[in-house]
Amino acid sequence: MTEPTTQAEDAPTPASFTIGDVVRHRVFPFRGVIFDVDPEFNNTEEWWQSIPEEIRPRKNQPFYHLFAENEESTYVAYVSQQNLLPDGDGDPVSHPGVVQMFDRFENGRYRLRKQIRN
């Protein structure tokens, strides 16, 4: 028999990061800059189920879209908040999408281009 969840357990987790922050993955060797935030999981059930159960993240937390990079390549990643940490390197991210969305890198974070800001 499963225990009923409380409203606090079901409530979404507040976002710890924002667009322009440089972060790194807690487990896998990649880092990136956040370019979009979903307050809760907003991908397919198939994608979520493809993650091994023992490391599958909760859905009721922010998920971040990253311009990501590792030692071999650049790509776009979709990562749960529980798997991200602030990146303390202070180095820019070399993903080609960064220059399309951000105009400068200051104090360890990126600033959106004026044309993209609301």
Using an 8 Å Cβ cutoff, are 78 and 40 in contact?
Answer: no
pLDDT tens, the chain, 118 aa long: 444 444 455 677 899 999 999 999 999 999 999 999 999 999 999 999 999 898 899 999 999 999 999 999 999 999 999 999 999 888 999 999 999 999 999 988 999 998 876 5
Give the SS3 label for residue 91.
Answer: coil
Within 10 angstroms of residue 101's Cβ, the number of other Cβ atoms is: 18
7-112 fold: SH3 type barrels. (2.30.30)
The whole-number pLDDT of residue 9 equals: 58
Contact 19, 77 (CB under 8 A): no
